[in-house]
Chain A
Amino acid sequence: MARMNPIGRNLLGWVSVVVFLAAWEILARSHVFTEFLLPSFSASFERLVEDTLSGELLRNLGLTLLRAFAGFAMGAVAGVVIGVCMARMPLVRWFFDPIVSIGLPMPKIAFIPVFILWFGVFDESKILMVAFNALFPVVVATMAGAEAVDRVMIWSARSLGASPRRLLFEIAIPAALPEIFTGLQIAMPIALIVAIVSEMAMGGEGLGGALMTQMRFADSRGVFSGILAIGIAGSLVVKAMELIRRRLLVWHQETQSG
């Protein structure tokens, strides 16, 4: 388990990606698999560029990300509010505790037909489905974070005359921010997964809907180029969350020690 210097590691990392893509290309061109089962990387990438230039890919990608972000934002805000209230008000905690402990591990994806029944098959329904799925991890993380806030800090602030409002916004929420952000980082990939599945099940525009249409028409290049696009977008979003975390938590030990 030897350690390597980081630059050499990074370089070799890219080499491994290139080797993987080359292996894909060679395998696809060797006619072991048909074009239907495995279109070559170059053909898929060409299609990716084509769809980007025609604007179709960007529109679909934009719609998917918009739905994922909108649902994520709703779930995040509601999750933080519920989580903080649960940590600070016994009655709220009593009410939500069993609901959250059952709701968190439940496969909420099964509710897609229920959401179709209630809200139809358009944006509203997809966004609410994402929010419903993103909510639970944020509630649990926020509650844990807000509970663990140092009592002494709260007492000091209070004895210095802080109002409950300032106590909440200047002490409780900032102190719980690392945990809250961990919850958000769990919720974001879930939001993307659910947005795509909702689009697949409900149809219409967006990457998930496009993938299903391409699959039904046996358009393998389209499917693989769509997956490349989703993969790249997913990586960028996850990376961006890490950067935001480091930015927001500049004052926290976690950032300073690492």
Chain B
Amino acid sequence: MKAAALRYLPLVLLAIVWELAPRLHLVDASALPPLTAVARSWFSLLVDGDILFNGVSSLLNLLYGLIGAIVVGIALGVLMAWYPTFDVFATPLVRISYPMPKSALIPVMILWFGLGAGSKIASVFMGCLLPVILSTYNGARGIEQTMIWSARALGASRWQVLREIVLPGAMPEILAGVRNALALSFILLVAAELLVGQRGMGYLISFLGDGGVYDGMFAAVLTVSAFGFFADRCYLLFMRWMLQWRE
């Protein structure tokens, strides 16, 4: 208890500085509203339903895009590792497009899918796809060939080999790739929402900021940050649970 208090004391100090700096007129209160004002504003956004409405919209779009990328990415990654012909054609394309700064695709997604949810989901999907493909591919190729041969020799079907050997063997790498994708998904979603659209947390932030409601804007920024942080923590727990069987 005491150790935890000591560990998180720096955050408390930061919060106190945040509260006092504008109150003592060290910084302009419109540039940095006191933390208590931000908290009050967060409550009214919560009561009015703004955070719930936009938060749910953001999380749903994030989930659709991310889950789509995970499913398609794992499938393509396994196919690339499994079929040499597919490998030879798809791998160079994946490797060439991988370093592309993913945010550049947002305008194309808006051209293709409009200003609504479609372009947000597509941006998240496109941004997360390559990390999942690449980590699955690397994981699946790292599996010892003898394991696959032995299973085949013992009469396992291709499907069984995939389910019992390839996927579990590649799982650590896949899970690590999905963690990267999760971080990227937040970046792309919030970026797309900041740029265009009429709902979502990114929209709420830019709407409040444009309107000069800065305590509200800070409240929304902190909310998004908390979403991202807790999503990562929950995912870490899930990852540990998934990998329990390894030692």
User: Taking beta carbons and an 8 Å cutoff, which residues of A are in contact with B?
Assistant: 1-2, 4, 9, 12-17, 19-20, 36-37, 94-99, 102, 105-114, 116-118, 189, 192-197, 200-201, 207-208, 211-212, 214-215, 218, 220, 223-224, 226-227, 230-231, 234-235, 237-239
Question: Is the CB–CB distance between B228 and A105 below 8 Å?
Answer: yes
- The answer to whether B92 touches A16 (Cβ under 8 A) is yes
- Residue in contact with A105 in the complex, picked from B91, B97, B108, B183, CB distance below 8 Å: B183
Q: Could you tell me if A235 and B96 are in contact, using CB atoms closer than 8 angstroms?
A: yes
Task: Select A117's contact among B84, B191, B209, B233, beta carbons within 8 Å.
Answer: B209
A–B Cβ pairs within 8 angstroms, 17 of them: A13-B91, A13-B95, A16-B90, A17-B93, A94-B6, A98-B7, A107-B187, A107-B228, A111-B221, A113-B209, A114-B209, A118-B31, A196-B104, A226-B107, A227-B100, A230-B101, A235-B96
**Chain B 205-247 residues near chain A, CB threshold 8 A:** 205-206, 209, 214, 217-218, 220-221, 224-225, 227-229, 231-233
Report the number of A-B residue pairs with Cβ-Cβ less than 8 Å. 164
**Looking across the interface, which residue of chain B has its beta carbon closest to that of A218?**
B111
Contact A106 B141, CB 8 Å, known A2-B84, A4-B88, A196-B101: no
Is B14 an interface residue, CB under 8 A from the partner?
yes
Residues of B with C-beta under 8 A to A20: 93
Whole-angstrom CA separation of A102 from B100 in the bound complex = 27
* CB closest residue in chain B, given A13: B92
Bound-complex Cα distance A105 to B44 (A)? 27
Which of chain A's residues have a CB closer than 8 A to the CB of B108? Answer: 223-224, 227
Q: Is the interface of A mostly helix, strand, loop or mixed?
A: helix
Q: How far is the CA of A109 from the CA of B195 in the complex (A)?
A: 12
Chain B residues proximal to chain A, CB less than 8 Å: 6-8, 10-11, 14, 31, 81-82, 84, 87-93, 95-97, 99-108, 110-112, 141, 145, 183, 186-187, 190-191, 194-195, 201-202, 205-206, 209, 214, 217-218, 220-221, 224-225, 227-229, 231-233
The 4 closest A-B pairs by CB, nearest first: A13-B92, A105-B232, A107-B186, A238-B99
Contact A110 B190 (CB under 8 A): yes
Q: Are A116 and B225 in contact (CB under 8 A)?
A: no
The minimal Cβ–Cβ distance linking B128 to chain A, given in whole angstroms, is: 13
Q: A106-B229, A189-B99 are in contact. List 14 more A-B contacts (CB 8 A).
A: A1-B145, A96-B10, A99-B14, A105-B228, A107-B227, A110-B194, A110-B224, A112-B194, A116-B209, A193-B101, A193-B103, A201-B206, A223-B108, A235-B96
Interface centre among A15, A37, A96, A215 (most CB of B within 10 A): A215
A105 touches B233 (CB 8 A): yes
The answer to whether A102 touches B224, judged by C-beta atoms less than 8 angstroms apart, is no
Q: Which of A113, A194, A226 contacts B205 (CB 8 A)?
A: A113
Given A16-B90, A107-B190, A107-B225: A234 touches B107 (CB 8 Å cut-off): no
Contacts of A196 in B (CB 8 A): 101, 103-104
Q: In the complex, which of the residues A116, A193, A194 has the most CB atoms of chain B within 10 Å of its own CB atom?
A: A193
Distance from B231 Cβ to chain A, minimum over Cβ atoms (Å): 8
| A108 surroundings in chain B (CB, below 8 A) | 225
In the complex with contacts A110-B221, A113-B217, A215-B111 CB distance below 8 A: yes
Complex CA gap A86/B114 in Å reads 46
Closest to A211 in B: B107
Judge whether B190 and A114 touch: CB under 8 Å.
no
- Report the Cα distance A200→B102, complex, angstroms: 13
Which residues of B lie under 8 Å from residue A237 when comparing CB positions?
A: 99
Asked if residues A220 and B11 are in contact (CB atoms below 8 Å), the reply is: no
Given contacts A12-B89, A17-B92, A109-B187, contact A212 B103 (CB under 8 A): no
Chain A, residue nearest B104 (CB): A230
Q: How far is the CB of A146 from chain B (nearest CB, A)?
A: 20
Q: Chain B residues near A220: list those with CB within 8 A.
A: 111
Query: Quick check: B112 and A110 within 8 Å, CB to CB?
Result: no
> Would you give the shortest CB distance from A121 to chain B, in whole angstroms?
12
Tell me if B88 and A9 are in contact (CB < 8 A): yes
Within the complex, what minimum Cβ distance (angstroms) separates A135 from chain B? 15
A215 and B110 in contact (CB under 8 A), knowing A105-B183, A113-B194? yes
**Cβ contacts under 8 Å, B231 to chain A:** 105
Evaluate contact between B11 and A227: CB separation under 8 angstroms.
Answer: no
Complex partner residue of A193 from B102, B145, B217, CB under 8 angstroms: B102
Q: Which residues of A contact B91 (CB under 8 A)?
A: 13
Residues of B within 8 A of A234 (CB): 99-101
Question: What is the minimal beta-carbon distance from B89 to any residue of chain A, in angstroms?
Answer: 4
Q: Which residues of A contact B112 (CB under 8 A)?
A: 37
Contact of A1 among B31, B82, B110, B218 (CB under 8 A): B82
